[in-house]
Amino acid sequence: MKSQKGQGMTEYIIIVALMAVSSIGVYSFFGQTIRNQIAGLAAEMSGQDSSTQITAAKKSSADAFITGKKEYNLGNYNEGANGAAGDTSGGGGSTVD
């Protein structure tokens, strides 16, 4: 009886680990777009114009789409992740007054 409970817990841990790894991969490709969208939402909620962040989010999304269409494997995965990330400045949030 105890071995079955241990097996279930082990399977659960493996599934959670796989989900974490896949989440990291998705975020590496779409992280810049997400950051720009969050910056735009924060600007709009504070009553400021967020056109800079919206434009940056659109550009990041287009870049991620282009990167996602290329073939990557374990040998060149970092190349794809770094290419999708673009710049790491956060999408020009400092230009909003």
Does some domain include residue 78? Answer: no
Q: Write out pLDDT tens, residues 26-71.
A: 877 777 788 888 888 888 888 888 888 888 888 887 877 777 777 7
Give the chain's domain count.
1
Range(s) of the domain holding residue 23: 2-69
Quick one: average pLDDT of 8-33?
A: 87
Binned at pLDDT 50, 70 and 90, residue 83 comes out as low
Does some domain include residue 13? Answer: yes
Does some domain include residue 75? Answer: no
pTM: 0.44
CB 28 within 8 A of CB 84: yes
CB 80 within 8 A of CB 70: yes
Does some domain include residue 84? Answer: no
CA 92 to chain centroid, in Å, comes to 17
Which tokens belong to 5?
């409970």
Could you give the residue ranges of the DSSP H alpha helices within 46-88? 51-69, 77-85
Q: Residue 71, SS3?
A: coil
CB 39 within 8 A of CB 89: no
